[in-house]
Amino acid sequence: MRAAVLRDGKLEVRETADPVPGDGQLLVKVLSTAICASDVHYMDHPDVVRADTSGMFVYDPDRDVVMGHEFVCEVVAEGPGCTGQFPPGTRVTSIPALIVGNGLVVIGQHPDAPGSFGERMLLSEVMVRAVPDSAPNDAIALVDAFAVGEFYVRRAAAQPIAAGVVIGAGAIGLSTVAALVARGIGPIVVADYSADRRALAQQFGAQIVVDPATASPYEQQAALAQAANVDGSGTAIFECVGKEGLLQQIVDDCLAGSRIFAAGGWYSADSLSLVRATKKGVAIQFGGGPEPQDWYGTLDAIVAGRLDPLPSVGRTITLDELPEAFDEARRGSGPPRITVHPNN
């Protein structure tokens, strides 16, 4: 099959071996997939991947890795031990994890779990869900991205929220806005340097958008908290960028007692003044999601039409265009999501 293959730090579109389904696995044809920042991070920070002790992520420069973990596919064949629940031709998607032996590995970030930047890939039947004809391929390919915002907002809403502040209007920021809107939480403040992304945030339901080059989202946070007669803990700040130094800036500028959810993800070292964070009395949550209830709940919302992630897609490309699109994602200069149709 043709795939965008990562080997020894280089991404090249070429022929590679077709995956062979093992016990309980389905061989599927990729209909649509999306580029995620974590794909770029996996490629650019192999030392961080090698430091993982879970065994779910593996980076081996001497082995082919086909990345890609946001996808919708069509079943081609069943491996041994499958139940026949998803016959060939069924359109499906899944949480991006594959059962290999007695454990789980992450699809697209392990040599034994080829991802969706290829014409074919493998899925574990037990995790698969059928996709109805009414749901567009590109929308289903964005389930994983929008499940991230759902996870953090679900965690944040364990306490009442008078207002939400979202830093960054990429796919994760937009997913956070969508999850806040779905719960009736607002007003929602979104900060992003890009006018196009600020406009997208408004399309997803943000009431206030801020260019951080000219205004402070934390002044908006303070005004909204005062209007609602709550302190910082009555609001929630969602960091959706993952830029070095940004978390410290949030701690320094936010209201005392704020709850901060670090959804952006880091693949490089950063530092935080514990003294300043302690004096501010902030609560910070790192990572931890999305969980299955967030992932499959997001899938259900898209299928039912309660959530439309398609405005976040700025462009659709072929496999041959993927390396250049990776560079664009690396610079942060592209749209929130670029979808790829490997078989087109």
Ranges in the chain, pLDDT < 50: none
Residue 49: predicted pLDDT:
80
Nearest to 120 by CA among 11, 30, 26: 30
Residue range 148-163, pLDDT digits in tens? 999 999 999 888 899 9
Residue 331: predicted pLDDT:
82
Nearest to 167 by CA among 231, 210, 128, 136: 210
Q: Are strands 71-78 and 25-34 parallel, antiparallel or unpaired?
A: antiparallel
Residue 142: predicted pLDDT:
97
Residue 189: predicted pLDDT:
98
Residue type, 175: S
Query: Tokens in use for 52?
Result: 């993982």
Helix axes 143-156, 171-182, angle to 10 degrees: 50
Burial of 275 (0-12, 13-18, 19+ CB in 10 A): exposed
Please state which CATH class domain 144-286 belongs to. alpha beta
Residue 318: predicted pLDDT:
96
Burial of 87 (0-12, 13-18, 19+ CB in 10 A): exposed
> What homologous superfamily does CATH list for 2-142+309-340?
Medium-chain alcohol dehydrogenases, catalytic domain (3.90.180.10)
Q: What is the DSSP string of 86-115?
A: S-TT-EEEE-SEEEETTEEEETTSSTTS--
Spell out the domain ranges in the chain.
2-142+309-340, 144-286
Residue range 111-159, pLDDT digits in tens? 999 999 999 999 999 999 999 999 999 999 999 999 999 999 999 988 8
